[in-house]
Chains A and B, each alone.
Chain A
Amino acid sequence: MDDLVIGMAGSGGDGIVSAGESLISAATYEGYYAMMTKSFGSQVRGGESSCRVRLSTHRVLNPGGALDVAIALNWDDFLKFGAELPVAGTTIVIYESKTGVAPDALPLVGVAPREVFAVPIGELAKQGAGSDKAKNTVVLGLLAGWFGLARTSILRGLRKKFIKKGEALVAANEKAFQLGEQYAKEHPLATPRAMDAPGVQPGSRLLTDGNDMAAAAALFAGCEFFGGYPITPSTEVMQFFNREVWKYGGAVLQCEDEIAGIGAALGASFAGKKSMTSTSGPGLSLKSEIMGLASIAELPLVIIDVQRGGPSTGLPTKSEQSDLFAAAYSAHGDVLRPVLAPTSVADTFDVTVEAFNIAERYQTPVIILSDQEVAQRKETVDPIDPARFTIETRRVPTAAELTDYQRYRFTDDGVSPLSHPGMQGGNYQGAGIEHNERANPTASGKLHEQMNAKRFKKLAPLQRRKDLFHIDGNPKAPLALISWGSIAGVTREAYEAARKEGLDVKLLVPWLVYPVAEEIYRDFFSSVRSGFVVEQSYQGQLYRILRSYVEVPAGVVAFCRSGANPIQPGDVLAKLRTASLTLQEPAVQVPVED
């Protein structure tokens, strides 16, 4: 077996997420590719919590579809996750026998799992560790026993985790682990399912989540200032950055509100530093006025928006891709603001570095449109070679330009030299008010038109950045998939499966989601008769934006649904199969009337 999807749920105190973290950490160390997503109710403590861990010997693109293994410490909690933890006929179900549920009377509607084990998990924990707090350690033992998972590394991880609290606690957890393992051995699976051994040396890959990756990439890109306000699910960006940036001579200012956060960040950029803020849905709305200021003042700024279910408070702990309209359009006035979307933890690094480069090169705010799934899932990442990145900095005026400085001088590429306080001769008035080339206020319609043209022109080269698009498959394929953000990983898996089935399909995944690169889409659509824009939102926001800029073939439709109803690779594959059959039907012959 080369791929295993495990889903576990319990109440907040059961440590189910902690078990998942031990597992993914051990598996990554051993050389597996792994991905872990967490999902919680919105309670601060207690309430239900769950995680999915997918392990594989090859690269993992998404958290997987139906579970291979479902673990319920408590059925009420498990069932609250619904479609996030789908049980199928192929699933092995393991649950706490204390729940009193009979193996043939599981509260699962319309499905008969392959095998069911009612395990006295709490009892084994007490027996091994003297406390039912070790239930999660028993679960790890069960998984190691039944699926041959990372035994040595899990034990090594448990030691690392508990040694601070003493050798006795390490021993207690080792015992609980062994009891779980022993239970599994005494109750073997009807069909043994051990994971294949991974192919690489231990300890070569990275393991992190999208928020930490974004913060690390910002540091790498030379960002020295963060202004922001805590908001789920983006807060970890600020937390990570705050731990690190002081070491690099920078600072984090936790502000009194979202507006002050972006205000301080913009101030730092005005003062000459690379700067950023991060937020989620409601915060993005609050920041929109100052994003507009950054656009007209032509100052570099990176804004990370980690999307969650919306509008308003919406589903603050669940992933959704419904902020694209807000990211692209939330400003008064004529504004063009680049929006980039990472699709995985790994490419969050590339996208973040690129966002800083675009911000600096074009003196513009750039939004990184992450989502809760990418931001908070843990993922094994292949080593990233820093040498393949170029770090760009803003164009500062030359000595000659400073003798007669014009902050907003009209240039061929629309980018003017940008000074900052401290630079003699570069003194100017940054302003939200329309201005002339010397940055003096104006109410002239002619200048306003010219300045708008300048601000749009400088971003035109983005339209031709093919490296910000990932296009795979036969360029002449009649069947197409387009997908962005975290859901692109699901779509890619479906694409690969469809290709294996022999379907003639191609795939486009943009990092640059706005402005719409019209030529690139036109080329892509030229062969397409049928296809899907796959998105985790109710409206299908990318699909709708594409339709307003390019001629989308009539057979291309949105395949989308609201957050917390994950689209699975199988769903996309089924759509493709049907579409492919339809394409093969001969065109209907309309009888010619005499």
Chain B
Amino acid sequence: MPTSVAALAAYQSKDFKSDLKPIWCPGCGDFGVVQAIYRALAAIGRAPHDIAFVSGIGCSSRIPGYTTAYGFNSVHGRALPIAQGIKLANPDLLVLVASGDGDGFSIGGGHVPHAVRRNIDITYIVMDNQIYGLTKGQLSPTSPKGLKTVTSEYGSLEEPVNPLMYMLAYGAGFVGQGTPADMAGLADVIEQATRYPGFSFVNVQSPCVTFGEDDDQVKDHRANMKSLASLGHDPTDRLAAMGLAQGYGTDLHTGIFYKNPNPPPTFDAQMRVRQAELAPKALPRERILDMFVQR
């Protein structure tokens, strides 16, 4: 007889932790993110071999390698298209995508609205640190205006993008945010995003301790974060979510901004219906060329 909830669970966090030692700098926010992902995956209970975890390039994109899932550490900015191909080829898989602010909103930004509108059931986790860490401290698309970096010696002249507003405006069915300063909250948002039937997005404010603004970011997060639930936010209210999302860059809201209470059918679900409908019309493969015979 099982004596505890933990014993009942098919998987525990440690089942998702690989033997690889992360290359991240000591204190990097991404250590917390990967822990939160282990927890979320354990709670969901799918076997590691039924999970495909895709990433692009950047510090954050090393994450799949630190899990025991199938991973694909691909090229810069292209994780989303690859992940969509995986999910359509095998809709039974749980498909996660990890990205950073540069990977996701700069070089790969063009893929985002299409991934959202296609509504393939994948979960997109962006580790947003407002800087290019792997290449040692250049301006990122979410860097605040005026930020001085090695490529903006005199302060950036550009407004940052607002990932939360983007996603809400594109029509994402699930938009959440978390920080490694609140591990339990972050794991919960990731778990809920993964359970959402459709495209889901989690923005993680994951501090870069090496090239970020200062060394006390996690402490600052802990002091300043406001849970959306505690603010009484109704996550089915998309307009209210947009109102709160405008605080991106100054406020640190955690939890669920928006979750569509009536999720529309996903692309992958519709694909299966169509395949089943059309299957009876298939010619045997060896007779495919018959359609070219002039009769």
Evaluate contact between A260 and B292: CB separation under 8 angstroms.
no
Name the contact of A206 in the complex, choosing from B83, B111, B294 (C-beta under 8 A). Answer: B294
Name the contact of A246 in the complex, choosing from B74, B78, B278, B293 (C-beta under 8 A). Answer: B278
A residues 287-317 near B (Cβ < 8 Å) are 289-290, 293, 297
For A500-536 the 0/1 string (1 means CB < 8 A from B) is: 0000000000000000000000000000000000000
Evaluate contact between B294 and A266: CB separation under 8 angstroms.
no
Closest to A299 in B: B72
Q: B269 near A: Cβ within 8 Å?
A: no
Q: Which residues from chain A contact B278 at a C-beta distance below 8 Å?
A: 246-247
A323 to chain B, nearest CB (A): 22
Closest to B52 in A: A421
B50 to chain A, nearest CB (A): 6
**Looking at the complex, which of B5-13, B163-171, B236-244, B281-289 is the stretch in contact with chain A?**
B281-289
How far apart sit A386 and B287, CA to CA, in the bound complex (Å)? 8
A160 to chain B, nearest CB (A): 10
Q: A270 near B: Cβ within 8 Å?
A: yes
Evaluate contact between A431 and B69: CB separation under 8 angstroms.
no
A residues 28-62 near B (Cβ < 8 Å) are 28-29
How far apart sit A29 and B110, CA to CA, in the bound complex (Å)? 48
**Looking at the complex, which of A3-11, A90-98, A103-111, A217-225 is the stretch in contact with chain B?**
A217-225
Q: Which residues from chain B contact A387 at a C-beta distance below 8 Å?
A: 286
Q: B151 near A: Cβ within 8 Å?
A: no
A229 to chain B, nearest CB (A): 11
How far apart sit A29 and B65, CA to CA, in the bound complex (Å)? 59
B residues 7-48 near A (Cβ < 8 Å) are 20, 47-48
Evaluate contact between A267 and B83: CB separation under 8 angstroms.
yes
Closest to A208 in B: B292
Q: B161 near A: Cβ within 8 Å?
A: no
* A267-B89, A430-B72 given; A440·B81 CB < 8 A: no
* A251-B271, A427-B70 given; A220·B285 CB < 8 A: yes
Q: A475 near B: Cβ within 8 Å?
A: no
Inter-chain CB contacts under 8 Å: number: 194
Q: Which residues from chain A contact B50 at a C-beta distance below 8 Å?
A: 421-422
B5 to chain A, nearest CB (A): 25
* A257-B110, A433-B73 given; A206·B289 CB < 8 A: yes
Q: A138 near B: Cβ within 8 Å?
A: no
Q: B85 near A: Cβ within 8 Å?
A: yes
Q: A263 near B: Cβ within 8 Å?
A: yes
B21 to chain A, nearest CB (A): 10
Q: B54 near A: Cβ within 8 Å?
A: yes
Q: B90 near A: Cβ within 8 Å?
A: yes
Evaluate contact between B281 and A247: CB separation under 8 angstroms.
yes
Q: Which residues from chain A contact B84 at a C-beta distance below 8 Å?
A: 253, 264, 267
Evaluate contact between B293 and A270: CB separation under 8 angstroms.
no
Evaluate contact between A422 and B292: CB separation under 8 angstroms.
no
How far apart sit A421 and B83, CA to CA, in the bound complex (Å)? 12
Evaluate contact between B20 and A267: CB separation under 8 angstroms.
no
Q: B92 near A: Cβ within 8 Å?
A: yes
Interface residues on B, range: 35 or more
Q: How many positions in chain A have a CB within 8 Å of any CB in the partner chain?
A: 70
Q: Which residues from chain B contact A250 at a C-beta distance below 8 Å?
A: 275
B134 to chain A, nearest CB (A): 12
Closest to A425 in B: B49
* A206-B294, A441-B65 given; A272·B89 CB < 8 A: yes
Q: Which residues from chain A contact B52 at a C-beta distance below 8 Å?
A: 270-271, 421
* A255-B81, A267-B82, A271-B93 given; A429·B65 CB < 8 A: yes
For A399-440 the 0/1 string (1 means CB < 8 A from B) is: 000000000000000000000111111111111110000001
Q: B225 near A: Cβ within 8 Å?
A: no
Q: B209 near A: Cβ within 8 Å?
A: no
Evaluate contact between B49 and A427: CB separation under 8 angstroms.
yes
Q: Which residues from chain B contact A247 at a C-beta distance below 8 Å?
A: 275, 278-279, 281-282
A365 to chain B, nearest CB (A): 14
Q: A278 near B: Cβ within 8 Å?
A: no
B229 to chain A, nearest CB (A): 34
* A268-B86, A293-B74 given; A259·B81 CB < 8 A: yes
How far apart sit A273 and B70, CA to CA, in the bound complex (Å)? 16
For B242-286 the 0/1 string (1 means CB < 8 A from A) is: 000000000000000000000000000001001100110110011
Closest to B280 in A: A247
A residues 162-217 near B (Cβ < 8 Å) are 203-208, 212-213, 216
Name the contact of A255 in the complex, choosing from B114, B288, B289 (C-beta under 8 A). Answer: B114
Q: Which residues from chain A contact B78 at a C-beta distance below 8 Å?
A: 259-260, 263, 289-290
A410 to chain B, nearest CB (A): 21
Q: Which residues from chain B contact A431 at a C-beta distance below 8 Å?
A: 65, 71-74
Evaluate contact between B294 and A267: CB separation under 8 angstroms.
no
- With a 10 A CB-CB cut-off, give which of A244, A427, A440 has the most chain B CB atoms: A427
* A421-B86, A427-B70, A432-B75 given; A260·B93 CB < 8 A: no
Closest to B69 in A: A427
Evaluate contact between B49 and A271: CB separation under 8 angstroms.
no
Q: Which residues from chain A contact B110 at a C-beta distance below 8 Å?
A: 256-257, 260
* A206-B293, A225-B85, A267-B85 given; A220·B114 CB < 8 A: no
Q: A101 near B: Cβ within 8 Å?
A: no
Evaluate contact between A212 and B292: CB separation under 8 angstroms.
yes
A210 to chain B, nearest CB (A): 12
- With a 10 A CB-CB cut-off, give which of B74, B274, B289, B292 has the most chain A CB atoms: B292
Q: B198 near A: Cβ within 8 Å?
A: no
Q: A372 near B: Cβ within 8 Å?
A: no
For A359-388 the 0/1 string (1 means CB < 8 A from B) is: 000000000000000000000010110110
Closest to B73 in A: A431
Q: A275 near B: Cβ within 8 Å?
A: yes
Q: B88 near A: Cβ within 8 Å?
A: yes
Q: A445 near B: Cβ within 8 Å?
A: no
* A247-B281, A264-B85 given; A29·B295 CB < 8 A: yes
Closest to A27 in B: B294
Evaluate contact between B294 and A429: CB separation under 8 angstroms.
no
How far apart sit A430 and B86, CA to CA, in the bound complex (Å)? 12
Q: Which residues from chain A contact B85 at a C-beta distance below 8 Å?
A: 225, 227, 253, 263-271, 275
Name the contact of B82 in the complex, choosing from A263, A426, A428 (C-beta under 8 A). Answer: A263
How far apart sit A420 and B85, CA to CA, in the bound complex (Å)? 13
B250 to chain A, nearest CB (A): 32
Q: Which residues from chain A contact B178 at a C-beta distance below 8 Å?
A: none
Q: Which residues from chain B contact A225 at a C-beta distance below 8 Å?
A: 85, 88-89
Q: B183 near A: Cβ within 8 Å?
A: no
B residues 71-113 near A (Cβ < 8 Å) are 71-75, 78, 80-90, 92-93, 110-111, 113
Closest to B53 in A: A429
- With a 10 A CB-CB cut-off, give which of B88, B111, B114 has the most chain A CB atoms: B88
How far apart sit A140 and B37, CA to CA, in the bound complex (Å)? 69
Evaluate contact between B88 and A251: CB separation under 8 angstroms.
yes
B271 to chain A, nearest CB (A): 5
Q: B291 near A: Cβ within 8 Å?
A: yes
Closest to A205 in B: B294
Q: Which residues from chain A contact B58 at a C-beta distance below 8 Å?
A: none
Q: B143 near A: Cβ within 8 Å?
A: no
Name the contact of B49 in the complex, choosing from A266, A270, A421 (C-beta under 8 A). Answer: A421
Taking Cβ atoms with an 8 Å cutoff, the residues of B that contact A are 20, 47-52, 54, 57, 62, 64-65, 68-75, 78, 80-90, 92-93, 110-111, 113-114, 271, 274-275, 278-279, 281-282, 285-289, 291-295
List 6 A-B pairs, minimum CB-CB distance, nearest first.
A267-B85, A263-B81, A264-B85, A271-B89, A268-B89, A247-B282
**13 A–B contacts from the bound complex (CB under 8 Å):** A206-B292, A206-B293, A212-B292, A216-B291, A225-B88, A267-B81, A267-B89, A268-B88, A270-B52, A271-B89, A387-B286, A420-B90, A432-B73
